[in-house]
Chains A and B, each alone.
Chain A
């Protein structure tokens, strides 16, 4: 079982790697990357992490120093690799000489280390302030900022109020007048027509009606078709709809033959 005691002088760079694109110690990989002799995109960073975790598992102790160093280096490698996904970032990196790249890496590591130290300072500060107690929670009385108004002209106020006092324009209720005629009205109309004529055009019969009435008339048409009273035909899309009467005798005959 691994124990959490620190063991100095076991650097992460001693880690032996056996990757698809590279085989050797970690510090050599770092060297090649810094010299741009190896593409970060070709390196399987997950495999590096696995190798490191396996090495940790083999040992009976955890080297916190090495773990920290490893995490920082792998994070930097991950960032380099991630940046390759973005063309602009890649161009930025390509523009860097190996020396500059090392400088940039060092600068970022230093920046992170400073923030880490600042976090330690904050933690120590917090621990030192544990005996400081003060009131927390919602304010019993919120601060009331004074509202400073510019000098006002009473006449301007009168004008503004007068504008508010004007009655609003009447609201149109015309849309409420929309009435749908009953379907039965058109059913009766079409049946009466069919009793006189065997065939007629739908468009001719509904010409002059409103759109709502035409729509209801069409529903009546579908109702008649559903009841088997008429047959519908249309020569082409948007051509006039032709309605023809179906005689009861014919229907019976056809049905009998079909059977």
Chain B
């Protein structure tokens, strides 16, 4: 029987890609290019190229594990086609029972953070103590110093876990605040409209 001659082309970055893959398997939170570069003692550009290779290899419908760019880093997650099986075996304690008040508080902290509870309460019009405590407990926000001056209130900002849970590459992936809701001019006109209608 004739043996078939095969040409096996190996990518020079394969070794680095395997090392990066190993690091990402061990890590439980996203790793940045800088962290991967430091761990592999390699060049940042080569690490990014290796990540590109891995993204092809670990992508939806090609693998049960998917490499995604999230929370200013790279991390593995389960493929979406396996989500039903995952849901049968695991829970989602972080987002379970996330109230409307907590979501609004989270939005304020994500856009305006670091900010304090009084600042959140000023915008929402109600006390934010309970919502803030719940978000801290879930790990979606964390303390980030205090306001200046004596007795300054504790300030909060969102955590990398927040970006990961919401599937954001970074906070910059949030929609622009100006694009959300009615502008102040519209509301002002409505207020004055109500006032003038009564005055006349």
Contact = CB atoms under 8 A, between A and B. Distances in A.
Contacts of A109: 184, 187, 191
Interface stretch (B4-12, B97-105, B144-152): B97-105
Contacts, number: 146
A118 B184 contact: no
Interface stretch (A136-144, A192-200, A245-253): A136-144
Contacts of A140: 26, 28
A102 to B, nearest CB: 6
A129 B111 contact: no
Nearest to A75: B125
A37 to B, nearest CB: 11
Contact of B188 (A28, A76, A102, A114): A102
Given A117-B180, A125-B167, A134 B75 contact: yes
Nearest to B177: A114
A134 B164 contact: yes
A27 B180 contact: no
Contacts of A107: 184, 188
A34 B195 contact: yes
B180 A121 contact: yes
A106 interface: yes
Chain B CB count within 10 A is highest, among A119, A139, A146, for A119
Interface in B59-102: 75-78, 80, 82-83, 86-87, 90, 92-95, 98, 100
Interface of B: 26-29, 35, 38, 75-78, 80, 82-83, 86-87, 90, 92-95, 98, 100, 103-104, 106-108, 110-111, 122-126, 164-167, 174-175, 177, 180-188, 191-192, 194-195, 197-199
14 contacts: A27-B198, A28-B198, A30-B191, A30-B198, A102-B192, A115-B181, A116-B107, A118-B110, A119-B100, A123-B100, A125-B167, A132-B83, A133-B83, A140-B28
Interface of A: 13, 25, 27-28, 30-31, 34-35, 72, 75-76, 78-79, 102-103, 105-119, 121-123, 125-126, 128-141, 143, 146
The 8 closest A-B pairs by CB, nearest first: A75-B125, A106-B188, A131-B83, A110-B184, A118-B107, A117-B180, A134-B77, A113-B181
